[in-house]
Amino acid sequence: MSDLGALIRSRRAIRKFRDGAVPERDMREVLEAARWAPSPANLQPARFIWVRDPKIKEELQALAAESKAMSAYWDPSFGPGGSSALVNDLRTPEVIAVCSDPAKSLTNVNDENGFEWAAAMSIYAMWLRAHSLGYGGVFVQHWLPDHAKRILNIPRLWRFLGTFTFGHAAEQKEQTRLPFDEVVFVDRFPGVARAR
């Protein structure tokens, strides 16, 4: 798919995968997209762990279930029969864990979280690149982060963002978005402005 607009619109969150490895050259392409994402002052705080060992993937699979069960304590939609009960597949697809170094953030009068923004941009870049190569994928943020860090040997003070999983799609998804005029404003936020 060559048209970038069509690519952006047709990318979906794909959570069901067929067996079959992704060739190394495609893996590298997806990881290159992550590597070339922008970051504040080009500090490149994010790191990407390509989880290949089936034993580590099994540990993540168990943690994915535990993470959902923990959320279900507060929100039944994550529990059995709930609308968000699906435990993401960590066995079948390729798994790329994303972490980022808070020490590589600039002083910023807005917030000091540029390291997380940079990681997020890498994640979207990987998602689009995987889609452009014909794969389906999903970013999963729903993790007990300290447990994931222990499984993946991520340093304590680093932030674990989640996993981007992708592979051969076994489902097709439709999605909608809010209407253009509901999300895009001209000049100022709608409503009566307060005196400045």
Ligand X SMILES: Cc1cc2nc3c(=O)[nH]c(=O)nc-3n(C[C@H](O)[C@H](O)[C@H](O)COP(=O)(O)O)c2cc1C
> Which stretches of the chain bind ligand X, using CB under 6 A?
12-13, 15, 88, 138-142, 173, 175
What's the length of the chain?
196
Residue among 172, 88, 71, 85 nearest 131 (CA):
172
- List, as one string, the DSSP characters of 64-97: HHHHHHHHHTT-GGGSTTSTT-PPPP-SSSEEEE
Minimum CB separation of residue 188 from ligand X in Å reads: 27
- Cβ proximity to ligand X: between 15 and 22 the closer is 15
Minimum CB separation of residue 12 from ligand X in Å reads: 4
d(Cα 35, Cα 48) in Å, to the nearest integer? 9
d(Cα 44, Cα 100) in Å, to the nearest integer? 9
d(Cα 29, Cα 41) in Å, to the nearest integer? 24
- Cβ proximity to ligand X: between 23 and 65 the closer is 65
Minimum CB separation of residue 143 from ligand X in Å reads: 8
Minimum CB separation of residue 112 from ligand X in Å reads: 19
- Cβ proximity to ligand X: between 139 and 158 the closer is 139
User: Residue type at 2?
Assistant: S
Q: Which residues contact 110 (CB under 8 A, 6 or more apart)?
A: none
- Cβ proximity to ligand X: between 85 and 191 the closer is 85
- Cβ proximity to ligand X: between 184 and 195 the closer is 184
Name beta bridge partners: 159.
100
Minimum CB separation of residue 196 from ligand X in Å reads: 34
Minimum CB separation of residue 60 from ligand X in Å reads: 13
Q: What are phi and psi of 49, to 5 degrees?
A: -105, 110
- Cβ proximity to ligand X: between 15 and 159 the closer is 15
